[in-house]
Amino acid sequence: MSPAKQASGGWTNPLRDPQDRRLPRIAGPCGMVLFGVTGDLSRKKVMPAIYDLANRGLLPPGFSLVGFARRDWADQDFAQIVHDAVKANARTEFREEVWEQLSEGLRFVPGNFDDDEAFDTLRRTVEELDQQRGTDGNHAFYLAIPPAFFGDVVGQLREHGLADSGTDAWRRVVVEKPFGHDLESAQALNQVLDDVFPPGSIFRIDHYLGKETVQNILAMRFANTLFEPIWNANYVDHVQITMAEDVGIGGRAGYYDGIGAARDVIQNHLLQLLALVAMEEPTAFDAEALRIEKQKVLSSVVLPSRLDLATARGQYAPGWSGGVQVPGFLDEEGIDPHSTTESYAAVKLNIENRRWAGVPFYLRTGKRLGRRVTEVAIVFKRAPHLPFSPLSTEELTSNALVIRVQPDEGMTLRFGSKVPGTQMEIRDVNMDFAYGGSFTETSPEAYERLILDMLLGDPPLFPRHQEVELSWRILDPVLDFWARQDEEGRTPPEPYPSGSWGPASADEMLARDGRAWRRP
Ligand code: BG6
């Protein structure tokens, strides 16, 4: 290994301190093989992110991307697909010279997942790239395909000598959710991957962890003195984690029907947010230390015993979204008109540890809600005593710290302040931090960060299988409870108008606790 090559597979300038995190981290010689090139994920996220990384100078000059699919395509046809995806979805400006360099490393291998010959061709293609483009035997296999095929593909990679480079080069596998549909299937899926790749070579993508604002939760909590002293049950009344979307299920009926909002979003993105908000300080910002803390806090999460009172689910009804009339969930193309799949889910969770005892965490997500917003709101207890007349504080609510994950990235602190005038009147005001106002850099797309980290072999932002399994352990009883209700034909998902903030039962769930959802 050359002295300039890090163990992680990245390159360093020997005159620079490799510990200096302000320097750009550039991937060392490598390539990626993409399965599922015709899917939405590849075209909307993966291909554009690769171009954006190349455009930012973060990929090695010889980077190569091999597409594998059941299509009768030549390399040029694949290049056209990537080109169109980049033009339509890349974050950064299109530059001909960047595209030219990138497109020289594009190859296509046609074949089925059970086609031995195709996997032999894939192996030869990868070896040729090592010679022609200097990818040095370092290759990542990105499975942007349904999990039902993971076993076939990783089995083929092993059979055809692709899973193990046999040298000091690396081989990695990248998988996307859904990581199973319950605990049992998640364990089976993890086993399939573990049989072929060592744990350090498996990268599970939860794209929320690639978002700047999500990573900032740890920076905000653990790089400051301000927040941590009040980050506990003595001061916090409850926490609300919201991921609201204004879009419907679009063309994803095939994936979504039978999956629903809880499996699609709560099991992964929202429970990861909960873990980052609630966990203890890790000993370091590395994958193992983070896993230990996330695993610990997820192990302490318990559901209330009355699931009928601690959960809510709904389906969007026809209505208006962005001034356009939209169909209801059951009228969407590809959805079974009797489907009981939820497009909205809310759940109350308790964390049984000293820091959080008695502080409920309310999680909700839904499609076709009032607007697109993801936020974490830490709502504080009211002051134990107010030395003002009740009238003076009539408009004062609870202090709150809101982490605005998207789209308006930043943080808001809500507290009471005197209204100017001769009277003592106290009202809520907001203090804002906006990324746009404080930093000149724009935030990269989550996929840029995660693909780069994976190529660098840097795993802190990828959930480990223990976290995935614990998240299912939390959610499985809710899913079973809803399935039982469906079987008994009781309390189907409650319709809510498109463009609203979800079903009334979700509001009632908080009202029973004397609380209300925020209207972001
Ligand atoms: C995905 C879900 O993980 O996240 C989608 O499968 C959802 O249903 C998407 O639309 C939202 O991602 P973002 O980054 O736009 O909040």
Query: Which 3-state string (H, E, C) describes 169-202?
Result: CCEEEEEECCCCCCHHHHHHHHHHHHHHCCHHHE
Q: Judge: domain 10-176, CATH 3.40.50.11260.
A: no
CATH superfamily, with its number, for domain 210-382+464-511: Dihydrodipicolinate Reductase; domain 2 (3.30.360.10)
| Vertex 362 angle, CA 357 and 367, to 5° | 165
Question: How many whole angstroms separate alpha carbon 118 and alpha carbon 120?
Answer: 5
4 pLDDT tier (thresholds 50, 70, 90): very low
Least Cα distance to 143 among 186, 179, 185, 168 occurs for 179
Q: Quick one: which H or E segment has residue 34?
A: strand 31-35
Q: For residue 17, what pLDDT is reported?
A: 52
Ligand 1 pocket test: which of 246, 264, 447 has the largest number of ligand atoms within 8 Å of its C-beta?
264
Residues acting as catalytic residues: 269
Question: How many whole angstroms separate alpha carbon 4 and alpha carbon 64?
Answer: 21
Is residue 108 within 8 Å of residue 73, measured between CB atoms? yes
Cα 72 to averaged position of ligand 1 atoms, centre (Å): 31
Query: Using a 6 Å CB cutoff, which residues line ligand 1?
Result: 207, 245, 264-265, 374
What is the residue extent of each domain of the chain? Answer: 10-176, 210-382+464-511
Cα 235 to averaged position of ligand 1 atoms, centre (Å): 32
Ligand 1 pocket test: which of 269, 272, 448, 471 has the largest number of ligand atoms within 8 Å of its C-beta?
269
Q: What is the pLDDT of residues 214-244, one digit of tens each?
A: 999 999 999 999 999 999 999 999 999 999 9
Is residue 214 within 8 Å of residue 279, measured between CB atoms? no
Tell me the average pLDDT across 412-427: 97
Q: What is the pLDDT of residues 429-468, one digit of tens each?
A: 999 999 999 998 888 999 999 999 999 999 999 999 999 9
Checking 122-127 for CB contacts under 8 A at 24+ apart, the result is 122/33, 122/66, 122/68, 122/160, 122/162, 123/160, 123/161, 123/162, 125/66, 126/31, 126/33, 126/66, 126/162
Q: Percent of the chain scored above 90 by pLDDT?
A: 89
The mean pLDDT value of the chain amounts to: 94
Distance of CA 156 to the CA centre of its chain: 28
Name the residue at shortest CA distance from atom 6 of ligand 1: 264
Query: Which 3-state string (H, E, C) describes 442-510?
Result: CCCCHHHHHHHHHHHCCCCCCCCHHHHHHHHHHHHHHHHHHHHHHHCCCCCCEEEECCECCCHHHHHHH
Q: For helices 446-456 and 47-55, give the axis angle rounded to 10 degrees.
A: 80
Question: How many whole angstroms separate alpha carbon 9 and alpha carbon 456?
Answer: 5
Q: What is the pLDDT of residues 309-337, one digit of tens each?
A: 999 999 999 998 888 999 999 999 999 99
Q: Quick one: which H or E segment has residue 123?
A: helix 116-133
Cα 169 to averaged position of ligand 1 atoms, centre (Å): 34
Q: Dihedral of CA 412/417/419/425: which sign?
A: positive
Amino acid at 221: R
Distance of CA 410 to the CA centre of its chain: 18
Q: What is the pLDDT of residues 122-145, one digit of tens each?
A: 999 999 999 999 999 999 999 999
Cα 177 to averaged position of ligand 1 atoms, centre (Å): 11
